[in-house]
């Protein structure tokens, strides 16, 4: 019986600690306040109901919740949030002919993180909205399907570019950069773009459709090349990808197709 009561006491402390965590803003201080309140109530003679009166489901849920709170990757405080990107800068860049002259592929990247302003400019140049009245973009797409989604893999997690809101929407916290290609440099470069064709936005399956969606990705990738040449960034487009494994890691639907990846960063010094 004493052993049972000891277990009950530990469980009640865990419940109140977790409750304090959320009542006080989801912080470590909140957890400590929950513990302090439990000790105060005990000293005043207030005791919780016996453990036998508590539903088993609630007990299990409490332990799951406690595990999530304490987990380094699953806690509420660790949640990946949308990133509102700065407004793209329209007064930068070099003359087009010079940019075309300097366009090239690189396979050595610095791990230095890209500033949000540079990332915003890059994504807008790739496939941003350049005609707000119609929602049309910086790269053409067949029948104006706009079926290509740009996923942005970084050390912080995986996002998808929302061109209309000019922001990054969170997909998952996992660092999937190493899975975006078979080359060794992809895991250390700051940004790996993954071009995903959403076939739900296109017409019926056909050879023409496959040609169109592939061409649409090519237009976007070339925009990225030109922006990088203008801004002195290193870049390479890649087709060597374990697509089934990456699609699983990204939790894509069956009608979402990975076409290409493209690595972007500062040149390695």
Q: How far apart are alpha carbons 13 and 30 in whole angstroms?
A: 14
* Statement to judge: residues 13 and 93 lie in one domain: no
* Statement to judge: residues 131 and 200 lie in one domain: yes
Q: Which two tokens stand for residue 199?
A: 């076939």
**Residue 74 is part of which domain span?**
2-78
Contact yes or no for 165/85 (Cβ under 8 A): no
Continuous segment of H or E residues that includes residue 97: helix 96-102
* Statement to judge: residues 39 and 95 lie in one domain: no
Please measure the distance between the N-terminal and C-terminal CA atoms of the chain and give it in whole angstroms.
68
Domains held by the chain: number: 2
* Statement to judge: residues 142 and 192 lie in one domain: yes
Q: What is the DSSP letter of 109?
A: B
Cα distances from 151 to residues 105, 148, 155, 246, in angstroms, run 20, 10, 13, 12
Q: How far apart are alpha carbons 163 and 170 in whole angstroms?
A: 14
* Statement to judge: residues 127 and 205 lie in one domain: yes
Among 23, 56, 78, where does a domain finish?
A: 78
- How many of the other CB atoms lie within 10 Å of CB of 132? 8
* Statement to judge: residues 211 and 227 lie in one domain: yes
Among 78, 104, 131, where does a domain finish?
A: 78
Among 28, 61, 78, where does a domain finish?
A: 78
* Statement to judge: residues 62 and 175 lie in one domain: no
For the chain, the farthest-separated pair of C-alpha atoms sits apart, in whole angstroms, at 84
The CATH number of the domain holding residue 197 is 3.40.109.10
* Statement to judge: residues 106 and 195 lie in one domain: yes
For the entire predicted model, the pTM comes to 0.73
Q: Nearest-CA neighbor of 189 among 153, 223, 221?
A: 153
* Statement to judge: residues 154 and 97 lie in one domain: yes
* Statement to judge: residues 67 and 92 lie in one domain: no
* Statement to judge: residues 64 and 97 lie in one domain: no
Q: How far apart are alpha carbons 140 and 219 in whole angstroms?
A: 7
Q: What is the pLDDT of residue 205?
A: 85
* Statement to judge: residues 56 and 170 lie in one domain: no
Tens digit of each residue's pLDDT, the chain (269 residues)? 444 444 444 444 544 544 444 444 444 444 455 455 545 444 444 444 444 444 555 445 444 444 443 333 333 336 899 999 999 999 999 999 999 999 999 999 999 999 999 999 999 999 999 999 999 999 999 999 999 999 999 999 999 999 999 999 999 999 999 999 999 999 999 999 999 999 999 988 888 999 999 999 999 999 999 999 999 999 999 999 999 999 999 999 999 999 999 999 999 98
């Amino acid at each position: 019986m004493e052993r049972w009561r000891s277990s009950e006491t530990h469980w009640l402390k865990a419940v109140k600690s977790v409750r304090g965590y959320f009542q006080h803003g989801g912080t470590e201080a909140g957890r400590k306040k929950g513990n302090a309140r439990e000790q105060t109530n005990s000293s005043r003679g207030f005791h919780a109901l016996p453990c036998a009166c508590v539903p088993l489901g609630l007990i299990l849920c409490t332990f799951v919740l406690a595990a999530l709170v304490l987990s380094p990757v699953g806690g509420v405080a660790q949640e990946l949030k949308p990133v509102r990107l700065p407004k793209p800068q329209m007064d930068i860049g070099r003359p087009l002919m010079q940019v075309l002259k300097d366009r090239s592929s690189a396979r050595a990247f610095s791990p230095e993180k890209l500033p949000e302003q540079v990332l915003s400019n890059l994504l807008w140049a790739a496939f941003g909205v350049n005609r707000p009245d119609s929602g049309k973009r910086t790269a053409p797409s067949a029948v104006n399907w706009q079926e290509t989604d740009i996923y942005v893999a970084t050390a912080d997690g995986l996002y998808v570019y929302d061109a209309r809101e000019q922001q990054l929407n969170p997909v998952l916290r996992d660092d999937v950069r190493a899975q975006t290609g078979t080359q060794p440099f992809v895991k250390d470069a700051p940004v790996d773009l993954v071009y995903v064709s959403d076939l739900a936005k296109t017409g019926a399956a056909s050879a023409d459709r496959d040609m169109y969606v592939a061409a649409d990705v090519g237009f976007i990738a070339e925009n990225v090349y030109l922006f990088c040449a203008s801004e002195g960034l290193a870049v390479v487009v890649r087709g060597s990808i374990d697509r089934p494994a990456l699609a699983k890691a990204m939790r894509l639907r069956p009608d979402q197709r990975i076409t290409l990846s493209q690595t972007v960063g500062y040149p390695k010094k």
